[in-house]
Amino acid sequence: MNDELREKLKYLRLTGLINQWEHILELASQSNFSAVRLLEYVVEEEYKIKKENSRKLRLSRAKIPEHLVMETFPFHQQPNLNKKKLLTIYDAFDYMPKNQNLLWIGPTGTGKSALATAFLIQAINQGYNGRFILFPDLIETLYQSIADHSQDKVIKTFASYDCLLIDELGYIEMETVQVGLFFTLLHKRHKRKCTLITSNLGFQQWTSFLKNEQLTAALIDRLTENSHIINMNKCASLRAKLAP
């Protein structure tokens, strides 16, 4: 490949073709590829590379702290978890096109975050964009946006993710304005996007951090209206089982 052709391929961002140039020439000379079949092969390979690079970029932008997948979850250590229900939802993969919510409720260490992360990664691998964020970090981000009057922009950003995982809902003190911003965000996502939530607190305890019974009731109604709820209250702590 001469330098001029290489530069043209770089300009077209056909890096896969650059890297496989010699291999493709070898195929052309040794295989019974017609001109059409050879062109099809080149396009198919470039398409695969672009798709994979796009998937990796979406994963990177999702800011997932630990890339946990369903295949590695220790179901054998959680006999009280409804594995059939969970895998039926996962395998059907209609929670994304139907803009459904998934909520995991249960004690610390039972694997809620791992399962929710597996669903988020599945959505990203299937071509959707997503984001992982801890609930305290989300609330702090929303609160800080008030200072520079960027709350509309911040809410729009989080509302735009096809799949948003909010981990560890609860256990922080919230001011009225923070509650309002959080409610606004979930209202904008309602029936438009998929939201994944994990919480150590049952619904009846959400008023402890939302500080408003009417708003809490309205929020729970929206979240559960089009959703799957995974009850993990009877599940044991995986951390305790892994402890020496």
Mean pLDDT of 192-198: 97
pLDDT of 242 above 50:
no
pLDDT of 73-96, one tens digit each? 999 999 999 999 999 999 999 999
Reading the block at residue 64, the tokens are 């997932």
Give the pLDDT of residue 128.
Answer: 98
**Helix intervals (H) in 127-206:** 135-144, 151-160, 176-189
**Secondary structure tally for the chain: helices H, strands E:** 12, 5
pLDDT of 244 above 50:
no
Q: In what order do the strands lie in the sheet with 194-199?
A: 130-134, 163-169, 194-199, 101-105, 227-231
Q: Are 59 and 124 in contact (CB under 8 A)?
A: yes
pLDDT of 8-38, one tens digit each? 778 777 888 888 888 877 777 777 777 787 7
> Exposure of 81 by Cβ count < 10 A (0-12 exposed, 13-18 middle, 19+ buried)?
buried
pTM of the predicted protein model? 0.87
15's CB contacts (< 8 A; 6+ apart) are 9, 49
Count CB-CB contacts under 10 A for residue 213: 10
Helix (H, G, I), strand (E, B), or coil: what is residue 215? helix
Q: Are 20 and 45 in contact (CB under 8 A)?
A: yes
Helix (H, G, I), strand (E, B), or coil: what is residue 199? strand
Mean pLDDT of 130-143: 96
Q: Are 195 and 223 in contact (CB under 8 A)?
A: yes
Q: Among 3.40.50.300, 3.90.550.10, 3.40.228.10, 3.40.350.10, what is the CATH number of 70-242?
A: 3.40.50.300
Q: Where do the CATH 3.40.50.300 domains begin and end in the chain? A: 70-242
Q: Which of 124, 93, 223, 121 is nearest to 169 (CA)?
A: 223
Mean pLDDT of 30-55: 83
